[in-house]
Structure 1
Amino acid sequence: MRTLAILTALIGAVSAAPSLIPRVSSPFSIAKPGGIDDIIITANNTLNGTYHSPTTTVSKKAAIQARTAQPGHLPIQIVNNFSGGQVNAYISGLDTDNRVVFVRGDGSLVYPSSGGSSVPVPISSAINIPLPAKGNSITVTLPIVLSSARIYFSEGNLQFFMVKIPNGDGLVQPSPTNLQDPSAGINWGFVELTYTTGLALYANISYVDFVGMILSMSLSVTDGSGTQITRGLGASAVSQVCQGLVQQGSQDGYPWSSMCVANSAGTPIRALSPGDYSAINSAAFQNYWSAYVDQVWSHYTSTPLTINTQTSAGNVNCQVSGSTLNCQGDNRGYAKPTAGDIWGCNSGPFAIQAGDNSIHSAVVPRLCAAFVRSTLLIAGGNVQPGVSQSQYYTVNPTNHYSRLVHQFEVDGRGYAFPYDDVNPDGSENASGTLASGAPNVLTVYVGAPPS
């Protein structure tokens, strides 16, 4: 914490005597919340549903219960472990008719409408669920099943909007990468969930995009299989990750610290992954991986790379020929990846296309994971996945965001990049997912994991 403490002291000194001490610029990206005109609508911050009504409608709990054809009855307990200000929860998703819906604390449903507007319209209905004081909990029961759902948590009020889209109405959600988003200065985060018509539950905590409001989950079940739990990150993880990014930037000169977004007071409220940060500054890490990629290609021109597909195909040998890495039995080869390809694992050579065979679909996640963790040129790196987790992120360049996220996870649960489940056979899985066909109660802990 020393780096942040010094920074805080300097900022305080500048505020006290601006004429005597040179102004110190923040190492973080500063959120400057704007209005509707500052909203940037992308596929990443919209939830698209069918158009259902020219006006917002509300279904009371009794009316929902009378619709016997609509399944669903899932208790969600929310435990407030947050040490800051008032926390609000927001439960959103798509119902079985593909309509955007919010679940209120009393179990009633709000179906917001854009009114046909192609410009985002604020949702004016009360959709927030105020949490009780720290140390207390509240239980909200989902009266219906939901898909593509999220439970948002924020210190203060998040702003949601509706907009008319070609095939219906879309929910415009807060964006972590738009520094002028109306909710940019708020500390927030979410868990993802799907509650199926078969009453199965899938809930997930992920840090693939960013680290924000600290969230943990547990799931009790009715089939005797035992309680599942994902503790995720500790209460101070945002400041710890940002401190680590500041230190990394001072070592290698890259703007790692700018991946941290601070509010107007200079307090970091979230840390973006490198892929998400590229939406703010696409050039920052453009050449970060170039020399490493060249070294990998040179090395595996004369040395075979073995990919353990961890499928019935077993091990496949790969080798560079010309500018392409080719693998036995694979329907196509791999060009050199760019930084963006490595951060996201879903573009360039890592984009899986229709028609790709099973070997290609198995090689992509294992090859990209090896790049993200920088294990291709270390001892034993000629077999992927092969080296132990203690050897991930041990050489430069590497994904220091992922390194830090895993460093501060309490139980190692929660993906830090899309293929974080790639590990040698028998190794621990980093997934933050809880799943059951017989869910009893989903509990979400806000602000700090359970002890």
Structure 2
Amino acid sequence: MRGFFNLAVASATAFFAQTIAAPMPIVVTPGDKGDLIITQENTVNHTSNALPPNMTIKEYSPLTISLVNNFGGSQLYVYVTGNDPSGAVVMLSTDGTWYYPDAAGSQVPVAITANVANPMNAQGQTTEITLPDYLSSGRIWIAEGELQFFTVLAGDGTSQLVEPSAANPSDPSAAVNWGFVEFTNTEAGGIYANISFVDFVGLVTGMTLTLASGETQEVKGLSSGAIATICQELKDQAAADGQPWDQLCVTDASGNPLRILAPNLYQSINPTAQANYYDDYIEQVWQKYTNEDLTINTQADAGSVACRVNGDELTCAGDNRGYPRPTVADIWGCNSGPFGIQDGDNAVHQAVVPRLCAAFFRTTLLLDGGNVQPSLSSDSYYTADPTNHYSRIVHKYELDGKGYTFSYDDVNPDGENQAGVVAGLQPQVLQLTVGGFSS
């Protein structure tokens, strides 16, 4: 998953990196390549995919992507992006081969005009495409209409792919209704695919994985029509608590909802939004755990570790460093401040970070039983204020309760899992149901 919050220019062309500015509420006004905002979160770069020692690539076992059209809108198109086994950036051409974006040394984004928009069959029909090789850091994009991708020279001299940005209301693809499924499929590890709402909610899609063993796994995703319903509930929540939840909904010029931004992504547009939202809660947490232990079950070899607040930091037994008070941005992004993982952090620290951030994100630290994390079941999440009402409402409309709404949604007590993941060895078919599962 690639969260947007940590904005960092991934292009050698700093000219195109700029602060996002948008009206409130957000109404898209698509621009051209001069309106692109290029960051590490909306680019795919060449990687070094070295094979493990003594391993060679065997014959590729084809993976079929089967797309069921349950969508009642206009023509749908499919795009596949990622890194091939050599680490090169690729897109899937309509002829079933990899297309390799080439910026030809240009420091100005170059529009990709190759045939990479794979058309889906009409509503009620299924479309099948077969990937020509293994793929890592992959995305399967589904769009109502055609998306615009670009390529530009990267800092290492290779060509990088610039993808549509959900956060930029002036992105050339801003007015297109789209979403994606993230996946990696390698010979060594098999497939790992997920439905992610970490950054935004877009075109509704569910998925079913079939392995060579015959095993099937399913994540149903959101219900059909969920975008409008979630936007209305966010509007109701804004009216109830005075917070700008309604502004997470991105609309077209006619006011029709296109997508819903997660709060961490919205902060890239409005950095001061809800800046003090968790202040009182954090203070109560600090007071509580100054006088009693917060126990983190690492669900690993370290077992359970005791943590206490000492001054401005929470410290945990066996941890290599402490945790200062988080900000709202730290809590929603789970990758900065006390929740940033550094080189050299030990196993205890790496286990505490996701469990501690999940507890703040779901506001379970002050609940009865919240002194042990994770221990409370999912019906306790988001029940105390302040909380992340985006995640609460999105989970409410997931048909099976599964789908990442933040990066550590896979932190749960043993036996539970809210993450929308399918995974396994020797995948045969990854079926995507576009427009929502039939009731």
SS at match of 2:128: strand
Give the aligned residue type for 2:30: P
1:186 and 2:176 matched: yes
**What is the correspondence of 1:5-404 to structure 2 with a 5 Å cutoff?**
28-49=25-46, 71-167=60-156, 168-198=158-188, 200-224=190-214, 226-404=215-393
Q: Can you list the C-alpha shifts for 1:32-53, whole angstroms capped at 9, x where unaligned?
A: 11111100000000001279xx
With the length of structure 1 as denominator, give the TM-score of the two structures. Answer: 0.87
Equivalent AA in structure 2 for residue 353 of structure 1: Q
Give 5+ residue unaligned stretches, structure 1: 1-25, 52-67
Deviation of 1:108 after TM superposition, in Å, equals 2.8
| Partners of 1:106 and 1:140 within 8 A in 2 | no
**Aligned partners of 1:114 and 1:120 also within 8 Å:** yes
Residues 199 and 355 of structure 1: CA distance in aligned 2, closer, same or farther (over 3 Å): closer
Tell me the CA shift for residue 365 of structure 1: 1.0
DSSP-derived class of the 2:228 partner = helix
1:70–1:144 Cα contact (<8 Å) kept: no
Q: Distance in 1 between matches of 2:433 and 2:304?
A: 42
Q: Distance in 1 between matches of 2:193 and 2:366?
A: 36
Q: Please say which structure displays the higher CA radius of gyration.
A: 1
Q: CA deviation at 1:418?
A: 0.9
Q: What is the one-letter code of the residue matched to 1:38?
A: D
Q: CA 1:223–1:358 in structure 2 vs 1: closer, same or farther (change >3 Å)? A: same
- Conservation of the 8 A alpha-carbon contact between 1:72 and 1:143: no
Please state how far the C-alpha of 1:213 moved relative to its aligned partner: 0.6
Q: Is the alpha carbon distance of 1:109 and 1:330 closer, same or farther for their aligned partners in structure 2, counting shifts above 3 Å?
A: closer
Unaligned segments of structure 2, at least 5 residues: 1-22, 49-56
Compute the displacement of 1:200 (Å): 2.0
Partner of 2:436: 448
Cα shift at 1:71? 2.6
Distance 1:241 1:69, change over 3 A: same
Taking the aligned partners of 1:40 and 1:90, their CA distance within structure 2 comes to 20
Inter-partner Cα distance in structure 1 for 2:28 and 2:137: 27
Provide the rounded CA distance (Å) in 2 between the counterparts of 1:422 and 1:440.
28
- Matched letter for residue 107 of structure 2: S
Give the distance between the partners of 1:114 and 1:192, measured in 2 at CA: 25
Determine the structure 2 residue equivalent to 1:13.
none
Question: Would the aligned equivalents of 1:145 and 1:199 in 2 still touch at CA under 8 Å?
Answer: no
Q: Which has the higher helix share?
A: 1
2:202 corresponds to which letter in structure 1?
Answer: G
Query: What displacement does 1:215 show?
Result: 0.8
SS of 2:153 mapped into structure 1: strand
Question: Which one-letter code corresponds to 1:222 in the other structure?
Answer: A
Deviation by residue 1:395-423 (Cα, 9 ceiling, x = unmatched): 11001111011101001111111111111
1-structure distance, mates of 2:193, 2:199: 17
User: What is the rounded CA distance, in whole Å, between the counterparts of 2:144 and 2:102 in structure 1?
Assistant: 25
Quote the sequence identity (%): 51
The normalised TM-score by structure 2 is 0.89
Q: Deviations over 1:231-259 (max 9, x none)?
A: 11111121122111111111111111111
Secondary structure, aligned partner of 2:308: strand
Task: State the alpha-carbon separation in 2 of the partners of residues 96 and 378 from structure 1.
Answer: 47
Give the distance between the partners of 2:133 and 2:116, measured in 1 at CA.
16
CA displacement at 1:198 relative to structure 2: 4.4
Amino acid at match of 1:99: A
Find the aligned partners of 2:89 and 2:322 in 1 and give their Cα distance: 41
Question: How big is the shift at 1:177?
Answer: 0.4
Cα distance between partner residues in 2 of 1:253 and 1:449:
34
Following TM superposition, by how much is the alpha carbon of 1:99 offset from its aligned partner in structure 2, in angstroms? 2.1
